[in-house]
A and B are shown apart, each in its own frame.
Chain A
Amino acid sequence: TPHQATPSIPCRSLPTRQPANILEEARARLHVSSVPESLPCREQEFQDIYSFVESKIIDGTGGCMYISGVPGTGKTATVHEVMRCLQHAADVDEIPTFHFIEINGMKMTDPHQAYVQILQNLTGQKATPDHAAALLDKRFNNPAPRKQTTVLLVDELDLLWTRKQNVMYNLFDWPTQRHAHLVVLTIANTMDLPERIMINRVASRLGLTRMSFQPYSFKQLQQIIMSRLNKVKAFEEDALQLASRKVAALSGDARRCLDICRRATEICEHSTTNPSATGLVGMSHVMEALNEMFSSAYITAIKCASMQEQLFLRAVIAEFRRLGLEEASFQQVFVQHQALCRLEGLQPISVSEGLAVCRRLGACRLLLLEPSRLGVLQRVRLNVSQDDVLYALKAD
């Protein structure tokens, strides 16, 4: 390989198309990657984080903040928005200039790579993890004149966990140093992460400045979509409400809500025969998108399985009923299967075919199986509830 090879995404041969109609326009705006003009419904959190970081920058002190919330509640987006605003304020000399660094636990091969990335973002130096840790330690512990404040954003904090927790310890210990001028913002999904996985000396250094992002309510979701669409009239009012209510009831994940809306526009586009004159996205389209997203794939898989496979699932349930257990060996199930075959007036299948049927069901995870080298003695369990199987088998 050549030295200094830089991987890159191949360029587009054609530029992206301009949206042709309203639905395409709406789809582009609803895409998760399109940055919105503003973040609605997170004004309070924005204000809290902003004032926290701003006060630390102005005072020239350091501190930690822990931000938690389920996925899709706008944690990362809000922090980024805060940093954008602060950067703007620094540009117009309202506050002292500062340095913003972002690392993501998910993007690192090893927790210790955090040191390397921080050092590289700060100074441009490259070093091994150990050396980088020593250099950072020196930098944050020793006084230096006219030192800028550094704001460090650590996303996916739980992946920085190591057995001795030294990475986390250092990250939270540096801000407490007098000369560090370091503000650390950490983001994770669970609220009680510090109590669950951190040892006392790490958790105490993290401090008590915590903030949790609540899942969006349906009104907030609706407002988010409205603000995204920004007067593009593509949705019926009721359709939007249905989508946001459904998502709010399940998870309150804004990304999920956007996905459903985009899928609904696609369905709407396909359902009309004339591509130029498309109507609004109605209730039925959203309903269809919701069904696609939330309905269980297992039931569809059982419905579409072959006759012998369905018969085998029936045999599994019959054997479970007979044993009163949730587990049976293949040969027990197979006896039931053959009885069912005779009952249905089919030619009973051979053991090899039975094993093939069982394996195929196991490969699509409808059954949980032991390794196939155990042959007829392997134990069979259902990966879906018995009710689901019965519902799927009865539905035809």
Chain B
Amino acid sequence: MTALLKHPGYDEEKLRRVAEQLPCREVQAGLLLSLMGEPQQYSYPSIFIYGHRASGKSHVLHVLLKELELHHATVSCVECVSVALLFEQVLLSFFGCDAASLLPHSPSLSDFVRIYRQQRSQSPAKQTRYIVMEKAELLRDSDANLLPALLRLQELVEDNVTVILLSEIVWDKFRPNTGCFEPLLLHFPDYSKGELQQILSQDRHPSYSAEFYSSYINILLGVFYSVCRDLRELQHLAALNFSKFCEPLEEGKVKETDTHKLWRNIEPHLKKAMQTVYLREVSSLQWEQMQLMEEKEAGALRGLSAHTHVELPFYSKFLLIAAYLASYNPARTDKRFFLKHHGKIRKTNFLKKNEKTSNHLLGPKPFPLDRLLAIFYSVVDSRVAPTASIFSQISSLVTLQLLTQVSHDDQLDAPKYKCAVSLDFICAISRTVNFDIVKYLYDFL
């Protein structure tokens, strides 16, 4: 099925091995090979490769450069927090540690070019050298001259060197303001469903037949393909859930060919996996342990997001409730909610245009401290003295990130806050103090 990669200048045997390791990426690999040319030929100065996550960008390059034994340096821009590290890695993998030690303490680009040229004249390139930059979008945040210089490094160092940039972002968002040498753009498209099926079916379990594993992958893709096309994620899920799929087979209830029964068995399990282990609510280890324990239903374990309950002091709860009411109610309705003798005001006749949309959609509004305290006193039944502890509880709610201060930190008079908790959270809190918060929310009137 694999169309053999062909290019003069490279060993047939090696190319065959490359093609075996790159399923569904022959077109891109062939294109890259033809761009690289024969080892001793000059290649294009810079190539920019973009595609979604897990579309095989690094893998294709890695396999090509490794199997064909080409001179290359792979640099991840995440690791290189300073340009010094980047230069050091490139020099290290091209010329050995002697060259890297020549770099001064905080090297500039011209230092790098100078040392590179010096080393290049001592050991001239017999074949193209490749510098592969992974996560190249981070290059935009480093010095303004780094990206333009890398794009025309071939010219600068006068050596047979090619810079390959890998990124998930399109080239349009890379161009510096002052212009630069335009690299060759190469796109890696997403894997289609068929291609995913083909790749995932390759790493089958040795004790089961290929058709059996392939039917499992088919079911898995049927459940997950609509939400996830990331190959790595799917591989992870396939590995996690396979033992559950094989369970009825081991117990001897069904045969390998009985696909329908196997599907009936695994499908609810996979649906549950989507809500738990795919969202990382439950870790993979916990998921595996749950599968072992028969009596415990999968998903009965409380996930990460269920742990949102926070123990707060009594008045802090009321302060938080008051803050939530102040954030999501318009100030003009306060009188109606919190005063005893309000006139009868219907909702419709004082609606402003922007108040017609739900405040819960627009997000919380900032409110001043006075309003928070006023609502707090009317919400709490007993008399509360405005002691230092009440005010310190407000500021500790800010440090817990349940409230956020919107004005400047140093503003002591009339600070403004926003409430940063969700409706579910505040409902849980108000239930613990027997306060019906929905009755006081303008949106649910």
Is chain B a partner of chain A in the same complex?
Answer: yes
B residues within 8 A CB of A363? 177-179
Residues 173-185 of chain B, each 1 if its beta carbon lies under 8 Å from chain A, else 0: 1111111000000
B residues within 8 A CB of A375? 172-173
Asked if B317 is at the interface of the complex by the 8 Å CB criterion, the answer is: no
Interface range for A = 10 to 19
Q: Kindly provide the distance from the CB of B186 to the nearest chain A CB, expressed in whole angstroms.
A: 14
Asked if A18 is at the interface of the complex by the 8 Å CB criterion, the answer is: no
B residues within 8 A CB of A352? 170-172
Asked if B140 is at the interface of the complex by the 8 Å CB criterion, the answer is: yes
Residues 370-391 of chain A, each 1 if its beta carbon lies under 8 Å from chain B, else 0: 0111010000000000000000
Given A359-B179, A360-B179, residue A372 in contact with residue B170 (CB < 8 A) = no
Among A355, A371, A372, A375, chain B packs the most CB atoms within 10 A around the CB of A372
A residues within 8 A CB of B178? 363
Option from A351, A355, A356, A372 in Cβ contact (under 8 Å) with B177: A372
Bound-state Cα–Cα, A360 to B179, Å: 7
Asked if A171 is at the interface of the complex by the 8 Å CB criterion, the answer is: no
* Cross-chain contact A372 with B173 (CB below 8 angstroms): yes
Closest to A376 in B: B172
B residues within 8 A CB of A279? none
A residues within 8 A CB of B179? 359-360, 362-364
Residues 406-427 of chain B, each 1 if its beta carbon lies under 8 Å from chain A, else 0: 0000000000000000000000
Interface residues of chain B: helix, strand, loop or mixed (majority): loop
Closest to B140 in A: A373
B residues within 8 A CB of A355? 172, 175
Bound-state Cα–Cα, A373 to B175, Å: 8
Closest to B141 in A: A373
Bound-state Cα–Cα, A241 to B173, Å: 53
Given A355-B172, A356-B172, residue A369 in contact with residue B140 (CB < 8 A) = no
A residues within 8 A CB of B175? 355-356, 359, 372
* Cross-chain contact A373 with B177 (CB below 8 angstroms): no
Bound-state Cα–Cα, A372 to B174, Å: 6
Bound-state Cα–Cα, A363 to B176, Å: 8
Residues 333-365 of chain A, each 1 if its beta carbon lies under 8 Å from chain B, else 0: 000000000000000000110011001101110
Bound-state Cα–Cα, A351 to B178, Å: 20
Q: Kindly provide the distance from the CB of B168 to the nearest chain A CB, expressed in whole angstroms.
A: 13
B residues within 8 A CB of A360? 179
Q: Kindly provide the distance from the CB of A364 to the nearest chain B CB, expressed in whole angstroms.
A: 8
Q: Kindly provide the distance from the CB of B408 to the nearest chain A CB, expressed in whole angstroms.
A: 27
Bound-state Cα–Cα, A369 to B171, Å: 17
Q: Kindly provide the distance from the CB of B189 to the nearest chain A CB, expressed in whole angstroms.
A: 16
Bound-state Cα–Cα, A356 to B140, Å: 17
Bound-state Cα–Cα, A271 to B173, Å: 48
Closest to A365 in B: B178
Bound-state Cα–Cα, A362 to B140, Å: 18
Closest to B182 in A: A356
B residues within 8 A CB of A371? 177
B residues within 8 A CB of A364? 179
Bound-state Cα–Cα, A356 to B175, Å: 9
* Cross-chain contact B177 with A362 (CB below 8 angstroms): yes
Option from B170, B173, B174, B177 in Cβ contact (under 8 Å) with A369: B177
A residues within 8 A CB of B140? 373
Bound-state Cα–Cα, A334 to B188, Å: 27
Bound-state Cα–Cα, A275 to B332, Å: 91
Q: Kindly provide the distance from the CB of A252 to the nearest chain B CB, expressed in whole angstroms.
A: 34
Residues 337-373 of chain B, each 1 if its beta carbon lies under 8 Å from chain A, else 0: 0000000000000000000000000000000000000
Interface residues of B in 132-185 (CB under 8 A from A): 140, 170-179
Q: Kindly provide the distance from the CB of A71 to the nearest chain B CB, expressed in whole angstroms.
A: 27
Closest to A353 in B: B172
A residues within 8 A CB of B171? 352
Bound-state Cα–Cα, A359 to B174, Å: 11
List 7 interface pairs A-B (beta carbons < 8 Å), by A numbering: A351-B172, A362-B179, A371-B177, A372-B172, A373-B140, A373-B174, A375-B172
Instruction: Please give the residue numbers on chain B whose beta carbons come within 8 Å of chain A beta carbons, in ascending order.
Output: 140, 170-179
Assuming A352-B170, A360-B179, what are 7 further A-B pairs, CB within 8 angstroms? A352-B171, A356-B172, A364-B179, A372-B172, A372-B176, A375-B172, A375-B173
